[in-house]
Structure 1
Amino acid sequence: MVHPSRRIALVTGANRGIGFEIAGQLADLGMTVLLAARGGPAGRHAVERLRLRNGSRAVEPVTLDVTDPTTVRAAAATVADRHSRLDVLVNNAAMPEPAVPGRAYHPPSSCDLDTLRALFETNLFGVVTVTNAFLPLLRRSDGGRIVNLSSGLASLSAMSAEEGPFSSIPPNGAYIPAKTALNSLTVQYSRELREAGILVNAADPGPCATGLNPTGPRSAARGALVAVRLATLGPDGPSGGFFSDQGQVAW
């Protein structure tokens, strides 16, 4: 059992990329971090890397596949037994790169429906599965925070502007709609949980260099900053918003 004053955070898909950096930065702030990953060995290896990096033992592996409700329920039961509550949930998990080759970026007219379903399974349905499983533990916190990792590409206003920042990006029928749906879900959770004091926001990490986007111009560590800020909001912080490290992003 952790010290009562130490906040407890769970990050999904945290064995690499932005999720790994979010987990590391939260641990650096003194939180107990539950590093969730689909595969046990991958998660344990990531935990050891973080422990070596920040010298803290307050990082624990949790096996959790957001598309498998059985593992999600088991993870929630494990967290309840070990810690009795959860203060921060970061829904970061994404599909593994081999599952989303160029098909995730086809235009709607040639969109592969299996890929579309798989992306929604992870980016939307998986978020619902994990959030609902951990909500009883978040309700036990004196300041629950939920952060959903989205993308600036999910902004309807930016994407539809003829002279906007994304005007040169080809139409996309799978990845972008899945993230836009996640934004909508974020707003609805924020409305439902407002009275409980649980703040729910979407984070745009920007175009980071990760497995999904190896040529991204910014580091995963920089991309993690906005999620960490939203995970550590005070009681008067915003809820139901969409934010990058530059401030609020238009829906």
Structure 2
Amino acid sequence: MKKALITGANKSIGLETARQLLKLGYFVYLGSRDLENGRKALEQLKAEGLDQAEVILLDVSDSQSVAAARTAIGHQTDVLDVLINNAGINGGMPQSALTLSLDRMEEAFNVNVYGVVRVTQAFIDLLKKAEQPRIVNVSSSGCSLTLSSDPNWRFYHHKAAIYQPSKAALNMYTIDLAYELRDTPFKVNAVDPGFTATDFNNHRGDDSPENAGQRIVKYALIGADGPTGRFISEYHNPDTGEIPW
């Protein structure tokens, strides 16, 4: 049975992604920074008949928590097939470039960028033992420099001077990571789940967690001929999937 780790898997898109991977026969480690919330998510999945999962206490902003999660999972498996870096925060609102709080910006970067680095580095040894390892970094089309600077883009006026820079930095890390793993079976991509109605955006999104989960799962399962080092948003570009950095 193949195994996947999803950070921030106790709710919303992370939980839906876990649900879909479980239905496909994966064993899923549900990373949650709050153990009780993780247990509630697990019980919800079990009530649906999806019991090949386990909650892992995992706060991506805390190096000790990440190390403890690696130890816990390492006691159960020598191989990890999929890592989905889903955990993220928006940094609170409003987010003016002139008046933003540096403390809030540091917090967002600690989760959205450094957290991805911590988790990836901690689990890379288990991923390297998989036949077709996959890493999906959950990103956002709102951090595309090209789209965000285009007055004709539908979300041009949706500016967030904390969240957008943090996800843009995550994208650059994705490019560098994919480059370092270019001569291996790894596939590493930044995937935008779409403008999804969740508590992350006060349910203002116009798409469902189910669709968002499908987009993430697709690139967690791509074959050997699939893309790597790409920025994917099938929400915006259903034809080829790719959008500009």
- Sort the TM-score into its range (normalised by shorter chain): over 0.9
Q: CA deviation at 1:233?
A: 0.7
Q: Is 1:9 aligned with 2:4?
A: yes
Share of identical aligned residues, percent?
39
Runs of 4+ in 1 over 4 A off after TM superposition: none
One-letter code aligned to 2:199: G
For the 8 Å contact 1:79–1:85, the answer to whether it is kept is no
Q: CA deviation at 1:80?
A: 1.4
Deviation at residue 57 of structure 1 after TM alignment: 2.0
- Cross-structure match for 2:155: 166
Contact 1:87 1:143 in 2 (8 A): yes
- Give, in angstroms, the shift of residue 74 of structure 1: 1.1
Q: How many residues align?
A: 239
> Could you say which residue in structure 2 is the equivalent of 1:212?
200
Rounded to whole Å, the distance in 1 between the matches of 2:72 and 2:132 is: 21
1:61 to 55, 72, 91: 55
RMSD: 1.2
Which residue pairs with 1:43 in the alignment?
38
Which residue of 74, 78, 81 maps to 2:72? 78
Q: CA deviation at 1:210?
A: 0.9
- The Cα of 1:244 is off from its aligned counterpart by 1.8
Partner SS, residue 83 of structure 1: coil
User: Post-superposition shift, 1:72?
Assistant: 0.7
1:203 CA drift (Å): 0.8
Structure 2 counterpart of 1:101: 92
How much has 1:152 moved relative to structure 2? 0.7
Deviation at 1:101, TM superposition (A): 3.1
TM-score computed with the length of structure 1 as normaliser: 0.92
- In the alignment, what sits opposite 1:123? 112
Q: Deviations over 1:31-78 (max 9, x none)?
A: 00001101111111111111222x132111111000111111111111
**Counterpart check, 1:189 vs 2:177:** yes
Deviation of 1:227 (Å): 0.8
| TM-superposed deviation, 1:110 | 1.2
What is the deviation of 1:11? 0.3
Question: Aligned with 1:196: secondary structure?
Answer: coil
Q: C-alpha offsets along residues 57-112 of structure 1, whole Å, 9 cap, x if unaligned?
A: 211111100011111111111111101110000000023x7xx4314xx2211111
Structure 1 or 2: more helix by fraction: 1
Under a length normalisation based on structure 2, what TM-score does the superposition of the two structures give? 0.94
- For 1:212, what is the secondary structure of its paired residue? helix
**Cα shift at 1:248:** 1.0
